[in-house]
Amino acid sequence: MRTMIRSLAMSMLLTLGLAAGTSAMAQEKTLYIFNWSQYMDPEIIEAFEQKHDVKIVRNFYNSLPEMFSKLRAGGDSQYDIIVPSNYFVPRLIETGLVQKLDHSKIPNLDNLHPKFRDPSFDPGNQYSAAFQWGTTGLIYNKETLGEHSDTWGIMFDPKANTKYPFAMIGDGQVTMGMACAYLGFGYRCTDREQWKKAAKLVLETKKRENFSGFNDGTPQLQQIAQGVIHAGMSYNGDYVFFKSEDPEAYEDIGFSIPKEGAEIWVDNMMIPANAPNPDLAHTFINYILDAEVGAQLSNWTYYSSPNKAALPMLDEVLQQPPSTPTDAELKRSHFTPSLSGEDLQVFQQLWTEVQSR
Amino acid sequence: MKRSRLNRSLQVFWYLALLFLYAPLAIVVTFSFNSTNTYAKFSGFSLRWYEKLLENEIILNAFYNSAVLAITSSALATVFGTALGYGIYRYRHLQLGWLIWIIYLPIVMPDIVYGISQMTFFVGVHQLTGFLQPDLGTMIIAHISFQVPFVALLIYSRLVQMDPLLFEATQDLYARPWQRAWYFVLPTLRAALISAFFLSFTLSIDDFVISFFTAGPESTTLPIFIWSAIKKGITPEINAISTLLIVTVFTAAAISFAIQRARPAQSRSSQ
Amino acid sequence: MSERVAQGFSIRREWGRTTHLLGTIGPGVIWIVLFLVLPSLYLISVAFMTNGPYGLPQMPLTLQSFRELAGFGFLGWSPGNLYTLLRSFWQTLIATGLVILIAYPLAYYISTQPSNRRALMLLIVVVPSWTNQVIRTFGWMNLMAPDTPLSDTAAVFGLIPPQLGLFPSSFAVIVGLVYNFLPFMVLPLYAAFEKMDHDIVAAANDLYATPVRVFRHAVLPQTLPGLMAGTVLVSIPAFGMYVIPELLGGGKSMMLGNLVARQFAEASNWPLGAAAALIMILATLGGLLILRRIGRKLGGGKEVVL
């Protein structure tokens, strides 16, 4: 027993010594990136490190609210680049957690497709530059639920599917948006009466025996192949990725943008207000917006590129649906609205209500 | 007769408990050898994820940070916590009841409040003084602060079990407090100390929320990395690192067990 | 003269005791006060502030958050938070009870083994907890998914419809909780058993006929401090737990820990989160008070819980 304690102590001291050693040598210039996981080709990182003789440290977040609270608690002085989705951009700007982009340092901004050049959530790209974009649609098991399912009724209509388990997305705004769309109010509904009806629908759906649970989009893709669920909500790019990774397991899994409407989203690069290396951050944003790098990024993530100059260099699978939706599909896909103040509180109370019952 | 039947059934129970404890881990280990990135089924044996793992600096770094954090904080917390538990036991007649509420605070405070408070505090102090920049150091501070009460709790529960007269006797036997501690208190507490260290280590190596907030960009630990990674579902690399962790711990245990066996005289001290 | 010497001795002794007291209790308490009590004062005060447009605290001071916590929202009164509270209580109770039932025989069995084997066995119990909580939970998700031996067996007995799995469900949540907290009970119980006087148990074995009475009169009194410590270690974290309910329960039913965490994240209402945390801290401390009282009663007036 004493030997055990002694050897524990020894190994402890050893690791401490090592730690002291490594921290002393890290003095070169470093770029800190806070991003979603599995969202960046490591080769791009390496290439940038070599080209500019810097070190890149990457941290990841699980959800936007989590990233937001970390930034709020003082994290805005820790990171140089963050990659929030469209509906969190206004929130970050208005709370002063991000800084304006210096367009003179980002000439490649002109590579962006006109659609992404002047977005509604950040007019004139004053604070943000698009990184990747995609859609959130319906995933379903073709064998059990039909070859061509293109309605949210598969979840919200109690008669359409009484037997097979299904999941909804844990992000309240997305799931409520889908319920709104199914009820005919449109994905972007913000009217309180409409919200109440949508919340009621989600609550009723939640109580059904074959409702499996609230989960994130990508884990649902794993669950559907496993048979845990037969229908769910997920992202186009991850669907294409899993399908190419294991064609056999995903042969019977379909992805559609339901006729009632669905979500389109853009993730954007932004620079926190007190970033340690804002200059290097600008250089990095410019690098990502390069045509070739943009194509390389998309070919790795399986999401479509907002970079117009990169489009011709995308893999074939990315040039067709669902990675690149058809015009008709795009027309019925909408951005998630950015809420604030009383609207945000009313919505959250409703959603808390749905979750606590 | 009665006794041996009890022992037999306890033994069966032990093995059932092992099955319960290790069944989920068996799944983790199995899928770390899966040849594809999906969990639909086991598609074939492959070492692909271990190769990828060894190239993945982020995971290896996180693994290293976790180890340093857990070992350092548990060791220090065991020291502080043992002293605390002992002190409260020794001076329980001094009306120190109010102290209990301070000691319990770390146990009852919701993790997220804990983490945000400490992060705000560390960042504030850093801006004012230049000390306490969020990194591994602040994480160690944070972890110790929640481990200490758990250790004290365990040590105290062990001390209460003892005969108070023993203390009186040692007071005469060993005059100086440190002699008393070294020759009497610590040997008596051995089992509780080991339990306390394991407990602290477990708390530290598994903590996510408090770590997430008190970490700096370069001190990401495994739980932080894994939590952010499950956004995209658990990748086989995470299974691979977990497998390596299990193997490492057992190898270390086997080695120290072997050393112990080689010197059986030592292990039979004061029981 | 001799009086002064005696006085000097007693002063010295008093002085020695004070330093001893400070030396033992001091570091731990100072650490907690400096690095936790102080930092958390600000966040607790947030509970009395107004919620800003993006959930951040603002002046003026108000009790609005506590009203909201009681269920009064924009849409009238709702019992949602009450459900959450009751659910958390219920879940804690079941999980702690089951953990005690499993941990007792395990800790006892380990303590009866040769001394050089005990540390290893303890390690075997603890090691699964060193692989990440998410990873372990993930293992259970796979074990209890549809079309697995466990789920199929349950379906054969008619416990679940055949196309569904054992996961996600509240059953799965309980399994996950028991799994997660087992070591926290085994460790203190083992520390208690290790010092138990086995002669008393043997004597009790002759004295009382049934194992239940042996346990009640010989084992329980001796291991009570360990049991109470373990109960604190298990029940309090279980009360605030939310990762396991989220993953194994399919995020269908909100827990108290969840309610608090959500306010600082997606629900964007720091004042409400702080208020909920404050109530939760008070409720847990109240629970502790009760546990200590139970401990004192069972322990014959001795303060068995720290």
Q: Give the DSSP per-residue string, chain B.
A: -HHHHHHHHHHHHHHHHHHHHHHHHHHHHHHHTBSSS-SSS---B--HHHHHHHH-HHHHHHHHHHHHHHHHHHHHHHHHHHHHHHHHHHTGGG--HHHHHHHHHHHHS-HHHHHHHHHHHHHHHHHHHS---SSHHHHHHHHHHHHHHHHHHHHHHHHHTS-HHHHHHHHHH--SHHHHIIIIIHHHTHHHHHHHHHHHHHHHHH--HHHHHH--TT---HHHHHHHHGGG---HHHHHHHHHHHHHHHHHHHHHHHHHHH-HHHH-S--
Chain A residue whose CA is closest to C145: A228
Contact list, C116 vs chain A (CB under 8 Å): 1
> pLDDT tens across B223-267, in order?
898 888 888 777 788 888 888 878 877 787 777 667 766 654 443
Token pair, residue A189, equals: 């509904």
> pLDDT tens across C154-176, in order?
877 877 777 777 878 888 889 99
Residue that wins the pLDDT comparison between C248 and A10: C248
Closest-CA distance, A67 to chain C, in angstroms, reads 9
- Are C236 and C284 contacting, i.e. CB atoms less than 8 angstroms apart? yes
The rounded distance, in Å, linking the Cα atoms of C123 and C104 is 17
Q: Residues C129-151: what's their mean pLDDT?
A: 83
B260 vs A4, A34, A242: nearest CB: A4
Q: Which residue has the tokens 């995020």?
A: C251
Work out the widest C-alpha separation in chain C, in whole angstroms.
Answer: 93
Neighbors of chain B by Cβ distance (3+ pairs < 8 Å): A, C
Closest-CA distance, B8 to chain A, in angstroms, reads 27
Would you place residue C8 in the very low, low, confident or very high pLDDT band (cuts 50, 70, 90)?
low
Look at C28 and B83 and tell me if their CB atoms are within 8 Å. yes
Token pair, residue B240, equals: 């691979």
Question: From the candidates C35, C102, C125, which should be mutated to test the interface with B, based on the most B CB atoms within 10 A?
Answer: C35
Closest-CA distance, C67 to chain B, in angstroms, reads 20
Residue that wins the pLDDT comparison between B17 and C249: B17
Q: Which of C247, C27, C167 is nearest to B208 (CA)?
A: C247
Closest-CA distance, C209 to chain B, in angstroms, reads 11
The reported pLDDT for the residue numbered A356 is: 82
The rounded distance, in Å, linking the Cα atoms of A128 and A92 is 11
Residue type, B4: S
The rounded distance, in Å, linking the Cα atoms of A294 and A41 is 10
Q: Which own/partner pairs from A38-46 qualify as long-range (CB within 8 Å, at least 24 positions apart)?
A: A38/A301, A38/B229, A38/B232, A38/B235, A39/A83, A39/A132, A39/A267, A39/A301, A40/A297, A40/A300, A40/A301, A41/A296, A41/A297, A41/A300, A41/A301, A43/A296, A43/A300, A44/A288, A44/A293, A44/A296, A44/A297, A44/A300
Would you place residue B268 in the very low, low, confident or very high pLDDT band (cuts 50, 70, 90)?
very low
Contact list, A249 vs chain B (CB under 8 Å): 36, 38, 40-41
Question: From the candidates A4, A69, A195, which should be mutated to test the interface with C, based on the most C CB atoms within 10 A?
Answer: A69
Contact list, C115 vs chain A (CB under 8 Å): 1
A353 vs C55, C78, C249: nearest CB: C78
The rounded distance, in Å, linking the Cα atoms of C17 and B97 is 19
Look at A69 and B116 and tell me if their CB atoms are within 8 Å. yes
The reported pLDDT for the residue numbered B128 is: 87
Residue B92 near chain A (CB below 8 Å): no
The reported pLDDT for the residue numbered A48 is: 96
DSSP H helices in chain A = 2-25, 42-52, 64-72, 89-94, 114-117, 142-145, 153-156, 172-183, 192-207, 217-226, 236-245, 278-288, 291-301, 327-331, 341-356
Would you place residue B39 in the very low, low, confident or very high pLDDT band (cuts 50, 70, 90)?
low
Work out the widest C-alpha separation in chain A, in whole angstroms.
Answer: 73
Chain A residue whose CA is closest to C85: A356
Residue A193 near chain C (CB below 8 Å): no
The reported pLDDT for the residue numbered A292 is: 95
Look at A246 and B43 and tell me if their CB atoms are within 8 Å. yes
The reported pLDDT for the residue numbered A21 is: 45
The reported pLDDT for the residue numbered A122 is: 95
Closest-CA distance, A342 to chain B, in angstroms, reads 24
Look at C33 and B162 and tell me if their CB atoms are within 8 Å. no
- Are C155 and C205 contacting, i.e. CB atoms less than 8 angstroms apart? no
B150 vs C23, C190, C233: nearest CB: C233
A164 vs C51, C163, C252: nearest CB: C163
Chain B residue whose CA is closest to A229: B40
B residues 146..175 contacting A (CB < 8 A): none
Q: What is the DSSP letter of A318?
A: G
The rounded distance, in Å, linking the Cα atoms of B237 and C1 is 78
Q: Which of C131, C132, C305 is nearest to C232 (CA)?
A: C305
Reported ipTM: 0.83
> Alpha-carbon torsion C296, C300, C303, C304, what sign?
negative
Chain C residue whose CA is closest to B119: C39
Q: Which of A31, A265, A267, A268 is nearest to A126 (CA)?
A: A268
Contact list, C253 vs chain A (CB under 8 Å): 355-356
B105 vs C16, C37, C184: nearest CB: C37
A residues 242..261 contacting B (CB < 8 A): 242, 245-246, 249-250
Contact list, C102 vs chain B (CB under 8 Å): 17
Neighbors of chain C by Cβ distance (3+ pairs < 8 Å): A, B
Residue B135: how many CB atoms within 10 A of its CB?
18
Q: Which residue has the tokens 């002046």?
A: C59
The reported pLDDT for the residue numbered A25 is: 47
The rounded distance, in Å, linking the Cα atoms of C230 and C58 is 41
Q: Residues C38-48: what's their mean pLDDT?
A: 88
> pLDDT tens across B188-223, in order?
888 889 889 988 998 898 898 899 989 988 999 988
Chain C residue whose CA is closest to A166: C164
Chain B residue whose CA is closest to C220: B161
Residue that wins the pLDDT comparison between A36 and C152: A36
- Are A131 and A269 contacting, i.e. CB atoms less than 8 angstroms apart? yes
Neighbors of chain A by Cβ distance (3+ pairs < 8 Å): B, C
Contact list, C269 vs chain A (CB under 8 Å): 345, 348
Per-residue pLDDT of chain A (357 residues; tens, 9 = 90+): 454 455 555 555 554 554 444 444 445 689 999 999 889 999 999 999 999 999 999 999 988 988 998 898 888 899 999 999 999 999 999 999 999 999 999 999 999 999 899 999 999 999 999 999 999 999 999 999 988 888 999 999 999 888 899 999 988 999 999 999 999 999 999 899 999 999 999 999 998 988 988 988 898 998 898 888 999 999 999 999 999 988 888 999 999 999 999 999 999 999 999 999 999 999 999 999 999 999 999 999 999 999 999 999 999 999 998 999 999 999 999 999 998 888 888 898 899 888 887
Residue that wins the pLDDT comparison between C225 and C73: C225
- Are A100 and A315 contacting, i.e. CB atoms less than 8 angstroms apart? no
The reported pLDDT for the residue numbered B132 is: 85
Share of chain B above pLDDT 70, in %: 92
